[in-house]
Amino acid sequence: MTRMRSIMITAGFGVLVTLCACGNGPPAGQATGAGPVVGIAGQNLGPAGASVSAASSLQFAPGNITVTTGEVLKWTVAQDSVPHNVTFDSNGTLTSPATLGPGQTWEVKFTVPGTYSYRCSIHAGMNGQVTVTPGSAPAAPSATAGATPSAAATPTPSP
C-alpha cells in the first residue's frame, strides 16, 4: 500500500509540474535568446546592398562590414566550401538555418543601428561583425505640381 501511495504522489507531482510549466515559454514571436527585434532575416529580402562570403578557409570575408539600416546584407557559402551557418547569439531571430550548403545564401535586413557580432557555430573561431549605421531619412512628401499651399481650415463651432 505504501508503494502504491508513493507511485501516486510521484505521478501527481509530475502532472502538477507539467501543468505549471504550460505557457511559460518565450513570448509569442520571439525565439529563445532572440533579444530585441533589430531586423528581419530570411531569403529574397530584396537586392543585396552588401555581401559576405563564407569561405573554405573557414573565415567570413569580409570579417567586419558596415551597412545602413534597411540595406540587405547577404551571406553566401562559397561553392568550393563546406557547410556553414550564420549565428547571432544575442539576436536568435536573425540566425540562419542549422546549415547552409555550398552556394546557399542567408539575408538580413537590419532596422536598428548598432554593432552585431555573429559566428559560424559549426567552425570555432569563424566570427564576424556587422556595424549598422542609420540610413538616410526618407524624402519628405512633395506637394502636387502646381498646387499652392493653403492655410489650415479653422473649425467653426456649430450653433
Going along the chain, which residue ranges are E strands? 39-42, 48-54, 60-61, 64-68, 72-77, 105-110, 114-119, 127-133
Question: Could you report the per-residue pLDDT of 66-118, keeping only the tens digit for each?
Answer: 999 999 999 999 999 999 999 998 888 899 999 999 999 999 999 999 999 99
Question: Could you report the per-residue pLDDT of 110-159, keeping only the tens digit for each?
Answer: 999 999 999 999 999 999 999 999 986 444 333 333 333 333 333 333 34
Question: Could you report the per-residue pLDDT of 9-48, keeping only the tens digit for each?
Answer: 655 444 443 433 333 333 333 333 456 789 999 999 999 9
Q: Are 26 and 32 in contact (CB under 8 A)?
A: yes
pLDDT of residue 27: 36
* Structural domains of the chain sorted by starting position, each given as residue range(s) with its CATH number in brackets: 31-133 (2.60.40.420)
**If we measure between CA atoms, which residue out of 55, 51, 86, 44 comes closest to residue 66?**
51
pLDDT of residue 4: 63
Q: What are phi and psi of 118, to 5 degrees?
A: -140, 170
Q: Which residues pair with 129 in a beta bridge?
A: 64, 117
pLDDT band of 2, cuts 50, 70, 90: confident
